[in-house]
Structures are given as C-alpha cells and as structure tokens.
Structure 1
C-alpha cells in the first residue's frame, strides 16, 4: 500500500536519505526544508515515483508548523507517516561552551535549538496526529534524536538537552496515541557522514571520529534511513515507545 510521508529537514543528509528510502518503496513524499530550497528541490528530483511535493517553513514558528502539517495533508491527500528530522545541529556556528560565550549568546543558542529541535517537532506531531485522529486512520511518527542525548554534548548542551527531551516526548506520545493506532518511535544516531561533515571527516579529526566505533567507521545516512523505514512500517507497531540506538557500539546505554 502506498503511504503518504512528511519528512522535515529533508534538503540533505539523513532527511534526504529517508525521503529516498520511502520513495523507493513506492510512497509519496512531502519534502520539508527550513531555508535551503535549492537543496530540497534536488531531493525532490532524486525521488522515484510521482506526486511528491516540497514544503518550506520555519518550524520554530508554531503557526508555520501548523501550516506545514495542513499543506502536507492537503497535497498528499493525508499524512500517514511523519518523520521529525529537522534540527539546528552542532556546528562551529552553534557552539556554546559555558566558559567561552556571553550570556546573550548562551540564551540565543538555547532558544533556537529548543524552538526547532523540540517545540517544532512537538507542534508538528500534534497537528499531524490530530489529522490522523480526525480521519480515524492509523499512522506512524518517527523522531530523529541523537546519541548526544545520552553521552552528553559539552560544546552543545542545548542540542543534547533538546534531543533528550525529544526522546522523552516521543515516549509520552507513544502512550497517548496508541489508542488511536498511531505508533511513535525514535532513533538515536551517533556520528553520521552527511554532507556537512565532509570537512571534519577529511581533516585531522577524521581518524578520531571513526575511532569512536569499534567498527572503525562512522554511520551513513542510508543506515539511519533503513531504521526509520522499519520503525514506520506496520510490522513495527509493537516497537512503539522505543528509542533505537544507531551508533556502531560507540556508546552503550545501561
């Protein structure tokens, strides 16, 4: 059966790989991006099949999140699967070490990451879930979290906290939405070789990053996409509430 899938932050990296994976199984995709429309258009062009659509909007704005959900529902004829992948990610521009940033810089980093990584996903989940409930239809929601929620992010504490909160939010929603036949799961990737990490992997830090895993490498967007595809499948409904580690044994939870 062809499903209708909304994927946020799908202009590159993990989001693009997830979009391709769903489209390859015959699903119809709504590709969301926050700003890089040109890259998102490239994602749409890479998708096999037809009927795919592109949505642009800032998820930190609650009204934008509602508009994105409503437009995806309209364009796809109903959203069956939501993948909350969009995030303000760790980078040189978002570093906020306590000893090195001013208080206003600290506040700015926290506000932006919480607004997008947590509240954006929460608002979109609400809107998509309400559409599913109103239609009386089953569905799946998969959140893309992070290993950093467990291992800590000393240079990006707001990022680690936002992802830990996203995991907890997903588990709360798994309980709340199960009576409506909506499953909610999360994945927690470690370091993944996306386009924005090319320089880090090629530079002096590459060996250290690959050495974090006993496999001697980092993860790929396709590996994360494969896990998301499974968790969103009807066969994985009984996994609702889980947080799946995808880090090549680089961090083991107890």
Structure 2
C-alpha cells in the first residue's frame, strides 16, 4: 500500500506540473470488502486501504482532471492463483464462485483498459468488482 501511495502521489505531481489530465487505476481485491481468512487479514486491510486511497484521490483531484478508479478482482487465473487454488482444495473454493470459475487475466485487463481510455470522468472514484459474483455489494 505504501508503494502504491507513493507512486500515485508522484503521478499526481507530474500531471499537476504539466497541467495534464491523468488517470490512476489501482488494483485492489474483493478482500477489501469481503475480508479474508485470519491468516491473511493483512492482505484484506491493505486492499481496503487501496480502495479508500483511490476514493480520496478521486475526491481530491477530480477538479484538476485527475481521475482514479479501483478494480477489485477475486481469484484470477494466474500462476500464483493456480498454485493457491490447488493447495487449498480448488473445488471447495470454486463452489463459492457462482460463475463457476475464476476470472481470466484478459477479463481484468479489459476492465483496466476501459478505465484508462474510455471511462467517463463522472465515473471517477468508482470501485469495480470482477469476481464471478463471489462477492456482491
């Protein structure tokens, strides 16, 4: 969270110095809202902080045309997720996802691209879920 905050601050300062529009897309997690296991509460806390930071950036800099979005995926089929699913009994974890599968990296990338290039400025501060309905707010 600290590194993300520092990078966001540097990006904002850069866009302010140039008088340019900017877009920040932070990737958090469904754990920001759903929580996580007691062994991983530090992860959930950092993702909750990421969401709060993104909302604060949106509120603080929208008037300067600096927009911020947070994307909250659930499990995403990366090498790391595959190993985790296998080590924790994948079928049991998949049963908690109504879609019946984890997100593919391309699906998350589509959402990141939309926020970076197409999302209307009025969407600044939005938190977007992509988790197969494993957590619905």
In which range does the TM-score fall when normalised by the shorter chain? over 0.9
CA distance in 1, matches of 2:78, 2:120: 26
Q: RCO higher in 1 or 2 (8 Å CA, sep ≥ 6)? A: 2
Higher helix share: 2
On the 8 A contact 1:191/1:209 being kept in 2, the answer is no
For structure 2, which runs of at least 5 residues remain unmatched after alignment? Answer: none
CA distance in 1, matches of 2:34, 2:118: 31
CA distance in 2, matches of 1:186, 1:229: 12
On the 8 A contact 2:75/2:81 being kept in 1, the answer is no
Q: Secondary structure at the match of 2:23?
A: strand
Q: How many residues align?
A: 136
On the 8 A contact 2:78/2:105 being kept in 1, the answer is yes
Find out whether 1:133 has 2:10 as its counterpart: no
Q: TM-score, normalization: structure 2?
A: 0.92
1:122 alignment counterpart: 5
Deviates more, 1:202-211 or 1:142-151: 202-211
Q: Secondary structure at the match of 1:185?
A: strand
1:227 alignment counterpart: 111
2:131 alignment counterpart: 247
CA distance in 1, matches of 2:25, 2:53: 11
Q: Determine which of 237, 246, 250 is the counterpart of 2:121.
A: 237
Q: Which has the larger radius of gyration?
A: 1
Q: Determine which of 135, 145, 151 is the counterpart of 2:34.
A: 151
RMSD across aligned positions (CA): 1.4
Matches within 5 A, 1:6-17: none
CA distance in 1, matches of 2:50, 2:132: 21
For structure 1, which runs of at least 5 residues remain unmatched after alignment? Answer: 1-117
Find out whether 1:188 has 2:90 as its counterpart: no
Find out whether 1:142 has 2:25 as its counterpart: yes
Q: Secondary structure at the match of 2:93?
A: helix
On the 8 A contact 2:30/2:129 being kept in 1, the answer is yes
On the 8 A contact 1:191/1:247 being kept in 2, the answer is yes
Q: TM-score, normalization: structure 1?
A: 0.51
CA distance in 2, matches of 1:204, 1:172: 35
1:168 alignment counterpart: 52
- Post-superposition, which runs of at least 4 consecutive aligned residues in structure 1 deviate over 6 A? none
Displacement, 1:197?
Answer: 2.1
